[in-house]
Structure 1
Amino acid sequence: MKNAIMIIMLLTAGLVKAQSKFDSWPELKAFHQVMSQTFHPSEEGNLEPVKKRSGELHQKAADLKKAKIPAEFRSDKIEEAINTLEKDSKALHKLIASGGNDQEITKKLSLLHDTFHEIVGLCNKEEHR
């Protein structure tokens, strides 16, 4: 249990640090806000937030895809991950709109969350520049 708490603390610290880097990228911050408000409840089995806000989540991903990536984060890998984020958020929204089952919604939301963290991780790497 202590190890799990330590891992969560380290991940949170990394994300907080990363968030401050994104002051120049408001579209990523906006996506993160909706993602956190929909993903974290799903970890406890509450899918109502994502069911109600999947359209908004997709719109934020589409806005992110259209936005200019700040120069310090621009790379082919980040662009590819953003394209995946937009495509998969659209698929999640369609799944929810068509009455998809909770297990599949949870799986797709988790993959979307992983893609978001991939983008954050790529932004923190020096090698992508």
Structure 2
Amino acid sequence: MNKILVIALGIILFSLNLNAQENFDKWPALKNFSMVISQTFYPAEEGNLAPVKERSGEPLREAALLHKSDIPAEFSRPGIIPAVRKLYLESAGLDKLIKSKSEDKLILAQLKQVPDCFHTIVGICSDKKD
């Protein structure tokens, strides 16, 4: 059951990443974060935590850059600022767990929070303005 959820989330994130690559050219910090998290999250889905453990500082760095970046006007919608902040905080939590050599199950649980936050941001950005 858990594996099905992870696979479904992966498929959703993959399709969102394809759209994000195209749609977020105007927000390079978001596009860069998307690329880094896809390179670390997808291997973890298959049980390979090595990439995220070796590169835990990268999602945090990209989330910090995203947090500090100017939000393009077309993506500046209600909820975007708290969502970006949460992404930064979840990425920091992941980095902290990895650096403290926490158990893999704790790392994986935290890792799942990061793309969830990214998905929230993509959803906010993709909503049509009324």
> TM-score, length-normalised on structure 1?
0.87
2:73 matched to which residue of 1? Answer: 71
1:22 matched to which residue of 2? Answer: 24
Tell me, which stretches of 5 or more residues in structure 1 are unaligned? none
1:48 matched to which residue of 2? Answer: 50
What is the one-letter code of the residue matched to 1:113? Answer: P
Aligned equivalents of 1:113, 1:15: Cα separation in 2: 11
Aligned equivalents of 2:13, 2:60: Cα separation in 1: 25
1:1-129 to 2 correspondences below 5 Å: 8=11, 12-127=14-129
What is the one-letter code of the residue matched to 1:89? Answer: S
Offset from partner CA, 1:46-70 (integer Å, 9 cap, x none): 0000001111110000000000010
**Would the aligned equivalents of 1:39 and 1:50 in 2 still touch at CA under 8 Å?**
yes
Aligned equivalents of 1:17, 1:92: Cα separation in 2: 25
What is the one-letter code of the residue matched to 2:99? Answer: A
**Would the aligned equivalents of 1:65 and 1:83 in 2 still touch at CA under 8 Å?**
yes
Superposed CA RMSD:
2.2
SS at match of 1:100: coil
Tell me, which stretches of 5 or more residues in structure 2 are unaligned? none
Sort the Cα spacing of 1:29 and 1:14 in 2 relative to 1 into closer, same or farther, 3 A: closer
Larger Rg: 1
Q: How many residues align?
A: 124
Percent identity between matched residues is: 46
> TM-score, length-normalised on structure 2?
0.86
Aligned equivalents of 2:41, 2:69: Cα separation in 1: 23
Offset from partner CA, 1:40-92 (integer Å, 9 cap, x none): 00000000000011111100000000000100001231111100000111111
**Would the aligned equivalents of 2:40 and 2:52 in 1 still touch at CA under 8 Å?**
yes
SS at match of 1:76: coil
